[in-house]
Amino acid sequence: MQFSLWLALVGAGAMISLTPGAGAINTMSNALTAGFRRSIWGIMGQQLALIIHVIIVAAGVGIIVSNSPFLFMLIRYVGAAYLVYLGVRKLLAKAEKVDDDAAPDTVESGFSMFRRGLWVNLLNPKAIVFFLAFMPQFIRPSEPLLPQYVILTATVVVIDIIVMWFIFAAGAKQLKHLTASERGQLILNRVFGLLFIAVGILLVLV
């Protein structure tokens, strides 16, 4: 891949990652509940989903999904339902006790955050359609395909990790003070719950 084309890929990848969506909401939520460092688990789950989307498109399966109204709508509604489910769980979540003498609550496992991040990004059929339109701009059929797909995937994944961890997760630190009180925790749960539900609804309507 030519350096100028790669620079264009970097710019496009950065703009994509900086666009707020379910992945960004999930990352910020994880950073607030589990901490900045442990939020990387959810981010890595989201990257695995991204890699799977690239493989689906590169293998030609993406064309089948995008051309099949039934498959597209099935994935679309399942993805929306999952986001709404996460939102409802947030809305119903209780605040953790913040007394100094209280026993520490069970911390969510890294695998649980990884799995949620995977499903949040994987159950988004629009990502498949997006990559169908996005990838051909940076792939040259006259050149060996595998190295190009590897470079494209690695570039997009690294950029997304940087944006998710050092912008969205780090940005969540500005709201961290709210977790010091039960009322603050309830406010955050309501806000992120409504955001998850809103994104789920948009996934169906937009």
pLDDT per position as a tens digit, 163-183: 999 999 998 888 877 777 788
Residue 202's pLDDT is what? 83
* DSSP labels, 67-124: H-HHHHHHHHHHHHHHHHHHHHHHHHPPPPP--TTSPPPPPPPHHHHHHHHHHHHHT-
Distance from the first to the final alpha carbon of the chain: 34
Query: Closest Cα partner for 201 from 110, 87, 51, 108?
Result: 87
Average pLDDT over residues 184-206: 84
Please say whether the beta carbons of 133 and 142 come within 8 A.
no
Average pLDDT over residues 134-157: 88
DSSP at 205: H
pLDDT per position as a tens digit, 86-115: 889 888 888 776 554 444 456 788 999 999
**CB contact burial 17-33 (16+ within 10 A = b; e otherwise):** beeebbbbbbbbbbbbb
Please say whether the beta carbons of 161 and 47 come within 8 A.
yes
Q: In the chain, what are the domain boundaries?
A: 21-205
* Cα–Cα distance for residue pair 138/4, rounded to 1 Å: 11
